[in-house]
Amino acid sequence: MNSKLIRRHALGLLATASLALVSQAALAWPTKPIQLLVGFPAGGSADVLARAFGEALSRQLGQSVVVVNRDGAGGTIAAGVVAKADDAHTLMFGPAGPLVLQPHIKPSLPYKAADLVGICQTFVNNYALVASPNSKYRSVRDVINDPDAQNASAGVAYGAGGLGTMPHLGAVQFALQSNATMRVIPYRGDPPMALALKSGELQLATISVGMAQTQGFRILGTFAPTRLADAPDAPTMTEQGLPVVAQVFGGLFAPKSLPAEAQKALQGACAEVARSERYLSAAKSSQQDTVYRPSDTFNQALAAEYANLGQVIRKANLKLD
Protein backbone atom coordinates (compact mmCIF):
# COMPACT_ATOMS: atom_id res chain seq x y z
CA MET A 1 0.00 0.00 0.00
CA ASN A 2 1.51 3.37 -1.05
CA SER A 3 1.68 6.42 1.18
CA LYS A 4 -1.37 8.10 -0.42
CA LEU A 5 -3.57 5.08 0.18
CA ILE A 6 -2.30 4.79 3.74
CA ARG A 7 -3.07 8.46 4.32
CA ARG A 8 -6.60 8.10 2.85
CA HIS A 9 -7.24 5.01 4.94
CA ALA A 10 -6.08 6.77 8.11
CA LEU A 11 -8.25 9.81 7.36
CA GLY A 12 -11.23 7.52 6.74
CA LEU A 13 -10.76 5.79 10.09
CA LEU A 14 -10.37 9.16 11.80
CA ALA A 15 -13.60 10.47 10.22
CA THR A 16 -15.48 7.31 11.25
CA ALA A 17 -14.22 7.60 14.80
CA SER A 18 -15.15 11.29 14.93
CA LEU A 19 -18.69 10.55 13.74
CA ALA A 20 -19.01 7.86 16.38
CA LEU A 21 -17.90 10.27 19.10
CA VAL A 22 -20.32 12.94 17.87
CA SER A 23 -23.15 10.38 17.86
CA GLN A 24 -22.32 9.25 21.39
CA ALA A 25 -22.19 12.85 22.56
CA ALA A 26 -25.59 13.51 21.00
CA LEU A 27 -27.03 10.56 22.89
CA ALA A 28 -25.43 11.54 26.20
CA TRP A 29 -28.57 12.80 27.90
CA PRO A 30 -29.07 14.16 30.48
CA THR A 31 -25.96 16.31 30.61
CA LYS A 32 -27.01 18.43 33.60
CA PRO A 33 -29.56 18.36 36.46
CA ILE A 34 -33.20 18.03 35.42
CA GLN A 35 -35.80 20.49 36.65
CA LEU A 36 -39.08 18.73 37.43
CA LEU A 37 -41.77 21.38 37.68
CA VAL A 38 -44.93 20.83 39.74
CA GLY A 39 -47.85 23.18 39.20
CA PHE A 40 -49.16 22.85 42.75
CA PRO A 41 -47.80 23.75 46.21
CA ALA A 42 -45.47 21.68 48.36
CA GLY A 43 -47.20 19.09 50.50
CA GLY A 44 -50.08 18.50 48.09
CA SER A 45 -50.87 15.20 46.39
CA ALA A 46 -49.05 16.11 43.15
CA ASP A 47 -45.99 17.32 45.05
CA VAL A 48 -45.76 14.16 47.19
CA LEU A 49 -45.69 11.95 44.11
CA ALA A 50 -43.37 14.27 42.18
CA ARG A 51 -40.69 14.14 44.88
CA ALA A 52 -40.81 10.34 45.03
CA PHE A 53 -40.79 10.16 41.24
CA GLY A 54 -37.85 12.57 41.03
CA GLU A 55 -35.76 10.57 43.48
CA ALA A 56 -36.35 7.33 41.62
CA LEU A 57 -35.80 8.99 38.24
CA SER A 58 -32.49 10.42 39.42
CA ARG A 59 -31.26 6.92 40.26
CA GLN A 60 -32.36 5.61 36.87
CA LEU A 61 -30.71 8.39 34.85
CA GLY A 62 -27.64 8.95 37.02
CA GLN A 63 -28.33 12.69 37.15
CA SER A 64 -29.85 14.99 39.76
CA VAL A 65 -33.59 15.74 39.50
CA VAL A 66 -34.67 18.93 41.26
CA VAL A 67 -38.38 19.37 42.04
CA VAL A 68 -39.50 22.98 41.57
CA ASN A 69 -42.97 24.13 42.68
CA ARG A 70 -44.41 26.68 40.24
CA ASP A 71 -47.90 26.65 41.64
CA GLY A 72 -50.85 28.80 40.66
CA ALA A 73 -53.54 29.10 37.98
CA GLY A 74 -54.54 25.45 38.24
CA GLY A 75 -51.16 24.15 37.13
CA THR A 76 -51.01 26.21 33.94
CA ILE A 77 -48.08 28.36 35.09
CA ALA A 78 -45.83 25.32 35.29
CA ALA A 79 -47.24 23.93 32.05
CA GLY A 80 -46.52 27.19 30.25
CA VAL A 81 -42.90 27.21 31.44
CA VAL A 82 -42.32 23.61 30.37
CA ALA A 83 -44.10 24.02 27.03
CA LYS A 84 -41.68 26.79 26.05
CA ALA A 85 -38.53 25.23 27.56
CA ASP A 86 -35.75 24.61 25.05
CA ASP A 87 -32.94 23.34 27.27
CA ALA A 88 -33.98 19.65 27.07
CA HIS A 89 -33.79 19.41 30.87
CA THR A 90 -37.10 20.95 32.01
CA LEU A 91 -40.01 18.57 32.58
CA MET A 92 -43.35 18.57 34.39
CA PHE A 93 -44.95 16.07 36.74
CA GLY A 94 -48.58 16.26 37.78
CA PRO A 95 -52.19 15.92 36.71
CA ALA A 96 -53.27 16.17 33.09
CA GLY A 97 -55.66 19.08 33.71
CA PRO A 98 -53.40 21.76 32.17
CA LEU A 99 -53.50 19.77 28.90
CA VAL A 100 -56.99 18.27 28.79
CA LEU A 101 -59.15 20.67 30.80
CA GLN A 102 -57.69 24.16 31.13
CA PRO A 103 -57.32 24.84 27.38
CA HIS A 104 -61.11 24.53 27.02
CA ILE A 105 -61.88 27.20 29.61
CA LYS A 106 -58.89 29.53 29.33
CA PRO A 107 -58.44 30.47 25.66
CA SER A 108 -55.71 32.97 26.57
CA LEU A 109 -53.26 30.35 27.86
CA PRO A 110 -49.69 30.98 26.64
CA TYR A 111 -49.46 27.43 25.31
CA LYS A 112 -51.51 24.80 23.51
CA ALA A 113 -52.09 21.23 24.62
CA ALA A 114 -50.09 20.09 21.59
CA ASP A 115 -47.00 21.91 22.92
CA LEU A 116 -46.50 19.15 25.51
CA VAL A 117 -46.19 15.39 25.19
CA GLY A 118 -46.98 12.69 27.72
CA ILE A 119 -43.94 10.56 28.58
CA CYS A 120 -45.75 8.14 30.89
CA GLN A 121 -48.83 7.98 33.09
CA THR A 122 -48.19 6.92 36.67
CA PHE A 123 -51.26 7.78 38.76
CA VAL A 124 -54.98 8.42 39.10
CA ASN A 125 -56.23 10.72 41.86
CA ASN A 126 -59.74 10.80 43.31
CA TYR A 127 -61.55 13.77 44.77
CA ALA A 128 -64.47 14.33 47.11
CA LEU A 129 -66.78 16.99 48.42
CA VAL A 130 -65.81 17.29 52.09
CA ALA A 131 -66.83 19.26 55.15
CA SER A 132 -64.81 20.45 58.11
CA PRO A 133 -65.34 18.45 61.32
CA ASN A 134 -67.44 21.22 62.89
CA SER A 135 -69.38 22.06 59.74
CA LYS A 136 -73.15 22.20 59.61
CA TYR A 137 -72.95 19.98 56.51
CA ARG A 138 -73.23 16.32 57.46
CA SER A 139 -74.49 15.00 54.13
CA VAL A 140 -74.90 15.93 50.48
CA ARG A 141 -78.58 16.65 51.18
CA ASP A 142 -77.57 19.22 53.79
CA VAL A 143 -75.67 21.09 51.09
CA ILE A 144 -78.50 20.90 48.57
CA ASN A 145 -81.10 21.97 51.15
CA ASP A 146 -79.04 24.90 52.45
CA PRO A 147 -81.09 28.09 51.90
CA ASP A 148 -78.06 29.61 50.15
CA ALA A 149 -78.16 26.78 47.62
CA GLN A 150 -81.66 27.87 46.65
CA ASN A 151 -80.68 31.53 46.42
CA ALA A 152 -79.29 32.46 43.01
CA SER A 153 -77.66 35.61 44.38
CA ALA A 154 -75.94 33.84 47.27
CA GLY A 155 -74.83 30.27 46.70
CA VAL A 156 -73.10 27.78 48.96
CA ALA A 157 -69.43 28.70 49.32
CA TYR A 158 -66.84 25.97 48.80
CA GLY A 159 -63.10 25.83 48.29
CA ALA A 160 -61.34 24.34 45.28
CA GLY A 161 -57.63 24.01 44.57
CA GLY A 162 -57.57 26.33 41.59
CA LEU A 163 -60.10 27.55 39.04
CA GLY A 164 -60.57 25.22 36.11
CA THR A 165 -59.09 22.21 37.89
CA MET A 166 -60.78 18.82 38.01
CA PRO A 167 -61.99 19.31 41.63
CA HIS A 168 -63.54 22.61 40.53
CA LEU A 169 -65.20 20.91 37.56
CA GLY A 170 -66.50 18.17 39.86
CA ALA A 171 -68.24 20.79 42.00
CA VAL A 172 -69.63 22.52 38.91
CA GLN A 173 -71.12 19.23 37.74
CA PHE A 174 -72.47 18.59 41.24
CA ALA A 175 -74.26 21.96 41.12
CA LEU A 176 -75.70 21.18 37.68
CA GLN A 177 -76.94 17.75 38.76
CA SER A 178 -78.45 18.96 42.05
CA ASN A 179 -79.73 22.36 40.85
CA ALA A 180 -77.88 23.91 43.77
CA THR A 181 -76.28 27.34 43.54
CA MET A 182 -72.58 27.03 44.40
CA ARG A 183 -69.92 29.73 44.81
CA VAL A 184 -66.25 28.78 44.44
CA ILE A 185 -63.42 30.21 46.55
CA PRO A 186 -60.13 29.31 44.82
CA TYR A 187 -57.04 28.21 46.75
CA ARG A 188 -53.53 27.39 45.57
CA GLY A 189 -53.91 23.64 46.03
CA ASP A 190 -54.96 21.26 48.80
CA PRO A 191 -52.59 22.26 51.67
CA PRO A 192 -53.82 25.88 52.13
CA MET A 193 -57.40 24.69 51.65
CA ALA A 194 -56.96 22.06 54.36
CA LEU A 195 -55.76 24.79 56.74
CA ALA A 196 -58.82 26.88 55.87
CA LEU A 197 -61.13 23.96 56.63
CA LYS A 198 -59.46 23.31 59.96
CA SER A 199 -59.55 26.96 61.01
CA GLY A 200 -63.22 27.34 60.15
CA GLU A 201 -62.53 29.77 57.31
CA LEU A 202 -64.17 27.15 55.06
CA GLN A 203 -66.93 24.68 55.80
CA LEU A 204 -66.96 22.90 52.46
CA ALA A 205 -64.39 22.02 49.80
CA THR A 206 -63.52 19.67 46.98
CA ILE A 207 -60.24 18.00 47.90
CA SER A 208 -58.31 14.81 47.27
CA VAL A 209 -59.64 11.76 49.10
CA GLY A 210 -56.19 11.07 50.55
CA MET A 211 -55.91 14.57 52.02
CA ALA A 212 -59.49 14.34 53.34
CA GLN A 213 -58.76 11.13 55.20
CA THR A 214 -55.38 12.10 56.62
CA GLN A 215 -56.79 15.43 57.86
CA GLY A 216 -59.96 13.91 59.31
CA PHE A 217 -62.47 15.77 57.12
CA ARG A 218 -66.00 14.48 56.66
CA ILE A 219 -66.42 13.00 53.16
CA LEU A 220 -69.91 13.81 51.87
CA GLY A 221 -69.40 12.08 48.55
CA THR A 222 -66.57 11.07 46.24
CA PHE A 223 -66.39 11.89 42.55
CA ALA A 224 -65.14 8.36 41.79
CA PRO A 225 -67.21 5.97 39.63
CA THR A 226 -67.34 3.32 42.38
CA ARG A 227 -66.49 3.14 46.08
CA LEU A 228 -62.79 3.32 46.77
CA ALA A 229 -60.91 0.48 48.45
CA ASP A 230 -59.08 3.00 50.66
CA ALA A 231 -62.33 4.74 51.62
CA PRO A 232 -64.99 2.00 51.65
CA ASP A 233 -67.37 3.96 53.90
CA ALA A 234 -67.40 7.04 51.67
CA PRO A 235 -70.39 7.03 49.29
CA THR A 236 -69.99 8.13 45.69
CA MET A 237 -72.01 10.99 44.26
CA THR A 238 -73.46 8.59 41.72
CA GLU A 239 -74.96 6.28 44.32
CA GLN A 240 -76.54 9.34 45.95
CA GLY A 241 -78.40 10.11 42.74
CA LEU A 242 -75.89 12.64 41.38
CA PRO A 243 -73.95 11.03 38.50
CA VAL A 244 -70.73 13.03 38.75
CA VAL A 245 -67.33 11.52 38.01
CA ALA A 246 -64.29 13.78 38.28
CA GLN A 247 -61.06 11.84 38.54
CA VAL A 248 -57.72 13.09 37.31
CA PHE A 249 -54.86 11.08 35.90
CA GLY A 250 -51.34 12.23 35.25
CA GLY A 251 -47.65 11.54 35.21
CA LEU A 252 -44.58 12.88 33.43
CA PHE A 253 -44.77 15.48 30.67
CA ALA A 254 -42.15 17.10 28.44
CA PRO A 255 -42.07 19.87 25.84
CA LYS A 256 -42.84 18.55 22.39
CA SER A 257 -39.46 19.88 21.28
CA LEU A 258 -37.58 17.48 23.58
CA PRO A 259 -35.09 15.54 21.41
CA ALA A 260 -36.14 12.03 20.46
CA GLU A 261 -33.17 10.45 22.26
CA ALA A 262 -34.14 12.22 25.49
CA GLN A 263 -37.76 11.10 25.14
CA LYS A 264 -36.59 7.54 24.58
CA ALA A 265 -34.37 7.63 27.66
CA LEU A 266 -37.23 8.98 29.77
CA GLN A 267 -39.69 6.42 28.46
CA GLY A 268 -37.31 3.63 29.37
CA ALA A 269 -36.75 5.04 32.86
CA CYS A 270 -40.45 5.68 33.50
CA ALA A 271 -41.47 2.05 33.71
CA GLU A 272 -38.80 1.36 36.33
CA VAL A 273 -39.64 4.46 38.33
CA ALA A 274 -43.38 3.71 38.37
CA ARG A 275 -42.79 0.34 40.00
CA SER A 276 -40.01 1.45 42.32
CA GLU A 277 -40.53 0.96 46.06
CA ARG A 278 -40.04 4.70 46.68
CA TYR A 279 -42.79 5.72 44.26
CA LEU A 280 -45.26 3.00 45.26
CA SER A 281 -44.79 3.90 48.92
CA ALA A 282 -45.54 7.58 48.24
CA ALA A 283 -48.64 6.70 46.25
CA LYS A 284 -49.92 4.46 49.03
CA SER A 285 -49.29 7.02 51.77
CA SER A 286 -51.18 9.70 49.83
CA GLN A 287 -53.91 7.24 48.76
CA GLN A 288 -53.44 7.73 45.04
CA ASP A 289 -53.88 4.88 42.61
CA THR A 290 -50.81 3.78 40.64
CA VAL A 291 -51.74 3.26 37.01
CA TYR A 292 -48.91 2.99 34.48
CA ARG A 293 -49.29 3.73 30.78
CA PRO A 294 -46.39 4.05 28.35
CA SER A 295 -46.09 7.10 26.13
CA ASP A 296 -48.22 5.93 23.21
CA THR A 297 -51.27 4.83 25.21
CA PHE A 298 -50.85 7.74 27.63
CA ASN A 299 -51.07 10.22 24.77
CA GLN A 300 -54.09 8.39 23.35
CA ALA A 301 -55.78 8.70 26.75
CA LEU A 302 -54.91 12.40 26.88
CA ALA A 303 -56.48 12.97 23.46
CA ALA A 304 -59.64 11.09 24.45
CA GLU A 305 -59.94 12.99 27.74
CA TYR A 306 -59.42 16.30 25.96
CA ALA A 307 -62.34 15.52 23.64
CA ASN A 308 -64.56 14.24 26.47
CA LEU A 309 -63.94 17.22 28.75
CA GLY A 310 -64.57 19.59 25.87
CA GLN A 311 -68.14 18.27 25.72
CA VAL A 312 -68.56 18.57 29.51
CA ILE A 313 -67.26 22.15 29.52
CA ARG A 314 -69.56 23.18 26.69
CA LYS A 315 -72.55 21.71 28.55
CA ALA A 316 -71.55 23.51 31.75
CA ASN A 317 -70.84 26.72 29.80
CA LEU A 318 -67.76 27.21 31.96
CA LYS A 319 -65.38 29.98 30.93
CA LEU A 320 -62.73 31.68 33.07
CA ASP A 321 -61.38 34.32 30.66
CATH superfamily of 31-125+248-316: Bordetella uptake gene, domain 1 (3.40.190.150)
Same CATH fold assignment for domains 31-125+248-316 and 127-240: yes
CA distance 50 to 273: 11
- What CA–CA distances, in Å, run from 98 to 44, 65, 201, 286? 17, 22, 28, 21
At residue 5, the 3 state secondary structure works out as helix
Q: Please give the pLDDT value at position 59.
A: 97
Q: Please give the pLDDT value at position 198.
A: 95
Its CATH class, for the domain covering 127-240, is alpha beta
* CA-wise closest residue to 264 among 29, 69, 104, 6: 29
The residue extents of the domains of the chain are 31-125+248-316, 127-240
Give the residue-averaged pLDDT of 83-102.
96
CA distance 220 to 230: 15
More confident residue, 316 or 87: 87
User: Over the stretch 159-178, which tens digit does the pLDDT of each residue have?
Assistant: 999 888 999 999 999 999 99
Residue 18 pLDDT greater than 80, yes or no: no
Quickly state the pLDDT bin for 3 (edges 50, 70, 90).
low
User: Over the stretch 135-160, which tens digit does the pLDDT of each residue have?
Assistant: 999 999 999 999 999 998 999 999 99
- To the nearest whole percent, how much of the chain has pLDDT over 90? 81
Give the residue-averaged pLDDT of 54-68.
98
